């Protein structure tokens, strides 16, 4: 938002569907929230009050195998949170309550498009409270074999540099780099769908994953072709979806990041490891209170023109 103020939704936004891994139906409702709330996940109870509530925070991640799972000491609250988190982050929403009545977020078409559409139908509301950012002060890097991820300082906003490399003729090496803003997110990222390989189906099913996967919600890659009748939305849809996942996973910082995230051959586990490493090193970040934020276009980038340092209290800063 041009004012640099915290935002929320104008009213409730609801979508329903099945979980891609569980196959279980679920209804997701995004509720407006007061400034300073951040993003919170709730499971409805039988008496109209939340049965459980978990803050969207890197410390609330309980699993990263094939999806990002949010929970607490009592166990998982919801799986596959990354796409709705990406929609909220990509559209610049600071405060919302994410109510989910099932064990997994609905996968919809495998992208964040339906979440964006639901949010756009109700619109956003700016508040009087200034937005706070987590500013990266020095590089933080995590590597595992050929995969690595790093966060570096960057004053112009949040930038993503994503690279993937698959030993498959239809994918190969793909890269993309962009500064995150709502317009670019809507046009270039939100519609990128999750993907999987036909050769992995039996293994996934036997492990209890992909039980709700279909051509309606997953790009299915065979040996020499895409099996979905409608084909690809972009020739590089694969790396765009990896970028979508990274946006959602890094939304668990607790506030918007100011920095560059570079990911090479990464996924949910790497995204979580890098963000965890950043937050664990208190000298690697600070909090910036954007008392005045003006967005100017410099080769498609968003600039933070005014900001003052604010007290920091760890990741819980939204």
pTM (predicted TM-score): 0.90
Higher per-residue confidence, 308 vs 239: 239
Indicate whether 96 pLDDT > 50. yes
Write down the residue that tokens 């560059």 correspond to: 260
Write down the residue that tokens 């937005």 correspond to: 131
| Per-residue DSSP letter, 225 | S
Lowest mean pLDDT among 11-25, 226-240, 282-296: 282-296
217-220: long-range pairs with CB below 8 Å, 24+: 217/17, 217/20, 217/107, 217/108, 217/109, 217/110, 217/193, 218/20, 218/107, 218/110, 218/193, 218/194, 219/110, 219/193, 219/194, 219/195, 220/195, 220/196
Question: Residue range 86-92: average pLDDT?
Answer: 98
Indicate whether 263 pLDDT > 80. yes
Q: What mean pLDDT, rounded, does the chain reach?
A: 90
Lowest mean pLDDT among 37-51, 96-110, 288-302: 288-302
Binding-site residues from annotation: 83, 241, 245
Question: Residue range 204-231: average pLDDT?
Answer: 91
pLDDT bucket at 148, cuts 50 / 70 / 90: very high
Question: Residue range 64-84: average pLDDT?
Answer: 96
Determine how many CB atoms are found less than 10 A away from the CB of residue 279: 20
Question: Residue range 89-94: average pLDDT?
Answer: 98
Binding-site residues from annotation for Zn(2+): 83, 241, 245
Helix (H), strand (E) at residue 128: strand 124-136
What proportion of the chain, given as a percentage, has pLDDT over 90?
81
pLDDT bucket at 50, cuts 50 / 70 / 90: confident
Of 21, 31, 268, 272, which residue is the catalytic one? 268
Structural fold of domain 5-310:
lpxc deacetylase, domain 1 (3.30.1700)
- Written as six digits, the tokens of 54 are 């978990």
> Is 268 a catalytic site residue?
yes
DSSP symbols for 175-200 = EEEEE--HHHIIIIITTPPPEEEGGG
> Where do the domains of the chain lie?
5-310
Q: Which residues pair with 174 in a beta bridge?
A: 164
Indicate whether 28 pLDDT > 60. yes
**Length in residues, the chain:** 318
For residue 58, the number of C-alpha atoms closer than 13 Å in the C-beta half-sphere is 26
Q: Can you tell me whether residue 133 is helix, strand or coil?
A: strand
């Amino acid at each position: 938002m041009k004012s640099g103020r915290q935002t929320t939704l104008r009213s409730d936004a609801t979508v329903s569907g099945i979980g891609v891994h569980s196959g279980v139906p679920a209804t997701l409702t995004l509720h407006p929230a007061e400034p300073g709330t951040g993003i919170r996940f709730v499971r409805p109870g039988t008496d109209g009050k939340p049965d459980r509530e978990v803050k969207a925070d890197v410390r609330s991640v309980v699993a990263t195998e094939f999806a990002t799972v949010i929970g607490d000491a009592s166990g998982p609250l919801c799986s596959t949170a990354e796409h709705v988190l990406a929609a909220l982050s990509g559209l610049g929403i600071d405060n919302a309550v994410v109510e989910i009545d099932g064990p997994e977020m609905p996968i919809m078409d495998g992208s964040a498009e339906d979440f964006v559409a639901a949010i756009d139908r109700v619109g956003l509301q700016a508040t009087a409270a200034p937005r706070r950012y987590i500013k990266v002060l020095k590089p933080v890097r995590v590597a595992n074999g050929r995969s690595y991820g790093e966060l570096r300082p960057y004053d112009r906003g949040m930038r993503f540099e994503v690279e993937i490399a698959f030993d498959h003729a239809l994918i190969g090496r793909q890269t993309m780099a962009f500064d995150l803003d709502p317009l670019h997110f809507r046009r270039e990222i939100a519609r990128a769908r999750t993907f999987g390989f036909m050769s992995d189906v039996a293994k996934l099913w036997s492990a209890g994953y992909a039980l709700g996967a279909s051509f309606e919600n997953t790009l299915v890659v065979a040996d020499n072709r895409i099996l979905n009748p409608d084909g690809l939305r972009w020739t590089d849809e694969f790396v765009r979806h990896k970028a979508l996942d990274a946006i959602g996973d890094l939304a668990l910082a607790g506030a918007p990041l100011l920095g560059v995230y570079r990911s090479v051959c990464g996924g949910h586990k790497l995204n979580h490891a890098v963000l965890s490493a950043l937050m664990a090193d208190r000298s690697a970040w600070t909090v910036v209170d954007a008392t005045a934020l003006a967005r100017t276009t410099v080769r498609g980038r968003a600039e933070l023109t005014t900001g003052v340092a604010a007290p920091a209290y760890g990741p819980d800063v939204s």
